[in-house]
Amino acid sequence: MLKRKLILSYSSQIFINILQVGVTIIVARIAGASVLGTIAFATSYVSMFMVIFDLGQGVAHIKLISEGKDEAACIGTFARIQIVLAAVFTLVVAAFIFVQKNIFDKPFESNVHETVIYITLVTITINNLYTVARTTFNGKTQQAKADIPDLIKNFVYQILRLTVVLIGLKAVAISISNLAATLLVLPIILYFFRDYKIGKFDKVLFKQYVLISAPIIVLNVAEIFSNYIDKVLLQYLTNSEEVGYYVAGLSIGGFILMIGNSLGTLLFPMFSKKIIENDYDSINGIIFKYERFIVLFLLPITVSVSVLSDLIVKIVLGHKYINTIPVLAVATITSLVYAYFMVYGNFITGKGKFKNIALFYIIKLAALVLFIYILVSPGMYNLRGYGLSLSMFLATFILGFCFVIYIFLKDKKVTIFPNRILMIATVIYFIIFMYFYPSNNEILFKILYVVILLSVYYTAGYFSGLIKNKDFKEFIDVFNFTKMKGYINSEIK
């Protein structure tokens, strides 16, 4: 069932990511990099204030639900917390914009930027009110109920986004499309949530929410700023067009990042439960299977996309997006590093060590700002989007290193890098693979080179015993739609 839940979460996101990449390509070609940059900046600008909305109460809700606390009381308390924070969030963002423009005299690049920010503020506020249902589903590990509304919302948004761009509209219309898609999924969420009771506000439970959330607040601040500060700083250090080049690379290469996000949502309540039961055999089994999947299947795909980034960008986006090539090459590797290490981060979170996780994200944020200053600032290396992608890679690797060192020092029951021999062999193989990558411009030759190297990798791994028949069978089972249909029906009926 764990595999089916993870597959559902990841496969639904793969579908949306493929659709999103396709639509982004069309938007990039028709509307231009500046429109992409405007939307990305507005989203990141508003999302940085999510530190007000997300004070750790979502993690607390998942933990309390997964531990079997009074469900109706938890939902009632959590819902009231979210409503109050939504009001505070909206007021603070509006006030900050007023202060920025009228007191600090720092207007936005254009009126369009400001308009898109206001529309995005409404969209994000509504979407975060949906977390009352979504977080409850996550606490119950009901992945279908959690994923289907987001799947539908994102599908509708991409269709609307494509439509408005094709008829000649730009950033404002795209942001309105996102708002419309967000509102359209409300009936679906209410339908899935129909069997849950919303109880009264519980003061005792509220104190538990506060106690669990308190150490997570710093974590959320550091994590949210780490996720969004890159595009905001790039906007202020350069312009919307440069942000567009950067976002285009992230959009194409971000499919690996999805598995890290899916993993965090799914494994946190599972790790929390297994730790309470002191079931380290199951915990190590989860880490072993997940890491093996990363090394055997995601790493080869990631390296292939990274080394073919020049072809992908030129064919998909065109020669005017040449600045996106190094961003895509580095962003895919960064996403893989994030996905690989997040299983250890989620174990630490599941154990309730939020203060330690918060410290690690602060270290990541500090490293990210430092690297951005060195690599992106006009007075330093001035590498723009490429420097920003390198900064994200280095900061993400430091974060993962912190996770591993903590577990190594504090919890000897957890097996770190259980597939270390396979991992080392794979990394060495693909480093050699990337080193000898042909530098000529023959497209077919480069593609053939990648195909041959992947074929040699799986063939050599199979005959050496590092890759087993079971690995291929489990990968093929990912596409067993009959089992997936049965799982979804069992959950939402």
User: What pLDDT is attached to residue 493?
Assistant: 55
Report for 155-159, 465-469, 486-490: range of highest mean pLDDT: 155-159
CA distance linking residue 386 with residue 372, whole number of Å: 10
> Whole-prediction pTM value?
0.78
Q: Is the pLDDT of residue 99 over 70?
A: yes
Q: What is the CA radius of gyration of the chain?
A: 23
Using pLDDT thresholds of 50, 70 and 90, give the confidence band for residue 487.
very low
Q: Which residue has the higher pLDDT, 68 or 98?
A: 98
Q: Which structure tokens are listed for 320?
A: 């005017």
For the chain, percent of residues with pLDDT exceeding 70: 89
Check residue 440 and report its DSSP letter: S
Q: Is the pLDDT of residue 88 over 50?
A: yes
Average pLDDT over residues 195-222: 86
- Reported in sequence order, the residue ranges of 383-461 that DSSP labels E, i.e. its strands, are none
Lowest mean pLDDT among 48-62, 77-91, 405-419: 48-62
Per-residue pLDDT reduced to its tens digit, 215-234: 778 878 887 888 888 888 89
Q: Which of 267, 342, 182, 191 is nearest to 5 (CA)?
A: 267
Check residue 97 and report its DSSP letter: H
- Do residues 54 and 224 make contact, with C-beta atoms less than 8 angstroms apart? yes
Average pLDDT over residues 381-388: 92
User: What pLDDT is attached to residue 481?
Assistant: 54
CA distance linking residue 346 with residue 63, whole number of Å: 13
- Reported in sequence order, the residue ranges of 306-401 that DSSP labels E, i.e. its strands, are none
Q: Which of 139, 151, 271 is nearest to 193 (CA)?
A: 139
Using pLDDT thresholds of 50, 70 and 90, give the confidence band for residue 83.
very high
Average pLDDT over the chain reads 85
Lowest mean pLDDT among 10-24, 25-39, 77-91, 197-211: 10-24
Q: Which residue has the higher pLDDT, 31 or 293?
A: 31
**In the chain, helix, strand, coil percent, each to 5?**
85, 0, 15
